[in-house]
Amino acid sequence: MPVIVPESAILLENLRKAYVSELNGHARYEEFAAKAEGEGWHGVACLFRAAAIAEQIHADNHGQILRQLGGEMDFAPHPVNSGITLENLRTAVAGEVFEVDILYPSFVDQARQCRDEAVERTYTWALEAEKAHARLFNEALARMELEDEESWITLADGFYVCPGCGYTTEQQHEAEACRICNCGWTRFGVVR
């Protein structure tokens, strides 16, 4: 007989998976940032640091709901496989594209089936923020492949991170409020 798993159990399991995935993402990008800094790619290091903060914000948002729903908060970190920065950027792009194209859309759908608006919202915010990460990592990768060392990838330019949803941008003052969660621009953190 097939085992029927209730939708609410899948909701909790997905939330825990998303929470763990974001915590691992945070640790991975911190390590990639240190590697990029050591190789002189200061701009790429800034981007990895900013993305690491954003992934922690996603983990915190998911974790808060997971705790409220009584889910398990246990977390065993994956070991980080760090290569040279060019390889790390490819890893980062692949991870972000997976989250944008596969993981979060399926989790959003499942949360909708459960009519859980809080869970749907935390996924939607993360999904939209990961799109910005994918764009920025793709640009860094393209510049590195072209050996464009005179561009932002070697400069310690700032990146701006929304404390509400982790939206990450290179624009110094993009708008009055976050395009994803409507948090005021003055609350954005700058990462250098």
Nearest to Fe ion of 133, 143 (CB atom): 133
Nearest to Fe ion of 114, 177 (CB atom): 177
* Amino acid (one-letter) located at 144: M
The minimum distance between CB 177 and Fe ion, in angstroms, equals 8
SS (H, E, C) 26-47: HHHHHHHHHHHHHCCCHHHHHH
Phi, psi values for residue 13, rounded to 5°: -65, -40
- C-alpha span between 51 and 175 (Å, rounded): 20
The minimum distance between CB 130 and Fe ion, in angstroms, equals 4
Nearest to Fe ion of 34, 97 (CB atom): 97
Nearest to Fe ion of 30, 130 (CB atom): 130
The encoded tokens of residue 172 equal 């110094």
Positions touching Fe ion (CB under 5 A) are 130, 133, 162, 164-165, 167, 178, 180-181, 183
The minimum distance between CB 178 and Fe ion, in angstroms, equals 3
Nearest to Fe ion of 45, 180 (CB atom): 180
- C-alpha span between 27 and 19 (Å, rounded): 13
The encoded tokens of residue 162 equal 């929304």
The minimum distance between CB 26 and Fe ion, in angstroms, equals 9
The minimum distance between CB 164 and Fe ion, in angstroms, equals 4
Where residue 77 falls (left for φ over 0; alpha for ψ -120 to 50; beta otherwise) is: beta
CA dihedral 59, 60, 66, 69 (to 10 degrees): -160
| Beta strands 189-191; 159-161: pairing state | antiparallel
